[in-house]
Amino acid sequence: MISVSHPYWHVRAVLDRHGGVIAVPVSYYTYKPRTVEDKRTTWEIAISDFVNVEYMAHVMEKTPRGQEFAIHSNVLINGGQNAHLVMIDMSTSARAHLEKLRTFLGDNFYQQISWYSSGRSFHGYGTELLPQESWYRFMGLLLLANLPHLGPTVDPRWIGHRLLAGYAALRWTKNTSQYLGVPSKLDANERRNRL
């Protein structure tokens, strides 16, 4: 089964609420640090399969050795168009850095983000689906959140890779030694107490 703290449940709720989604792109990938290479086996999961918990648990469990499973932002909607899930890959494990994004994203948008500890940093998922043009603007805002002469808040290499690919992607498994754990939801009390 899929843990109740896994981001699957948040993404599933977002897709249920918006309706019109017909497929979700995913991939098995191999991470190579400090390279431009983004080697992935990508496919689409029909929404009827995506909302099937047993099916999704099986897909994640079958991730090939030495690879990870990721969900992509560019979901397919009715009419053959793409809309993007809001995704963020932080560059730090310091919870105080989560709050830094509020200035760049705006209070209302920021409040809609659910945060997950990914081991060495945090992953964020919003509640909206963005059209392509808005997604590029959003990625630009994330890049600008990294202030000069300070350590990055949002992972700039992740932003670069995602802009080159044309979609965001976040890991949902811990299948290699590169990562410390499966992403797990930060509850509101934990987030507030540690900021």
* 72-96 pLDDT tens trace: 999 999 988 999 999 999 998 778 7
What is the tens place of the pLDDT at every residue in 140-159? 999 998 888 888 899 999 99
Considering the domain boundaries, does residue 161 fall inside one?
A: yes
Domain of 25, in residue numbers: 7-194
Confidence of residue 179 (pLDDT cuts 50, 70, 90): low
Residue that has been written with the tokens 């979609």 in this structure = 167
2 domain-assigned: no
Per-residue confidence band for 16, with pLDDT thresholds at 50, 70 and 90: very high
Number of domains in the chain: 1
Give domain status of residue 81, yes or no: yes
Highest mean pLDDT: which range of 34-38, 99-103, 132-136: 132-136
The enclosing domain of 136 has a CATH number of 3.90.920
- Which amino acid would we find at residue 149? H
**Residue 1 in domain:** no
SS3 of residue 64 by DSSP: coil
For the chain, percent of residues with pLDDT exceeding 70: 92
Query: How far is the C-alpha of 131 from the C-alpha of 74, rounded, in Å?
Result: 9
- Please give the Cα distance from 123 to 134 (Å, whole number): 20
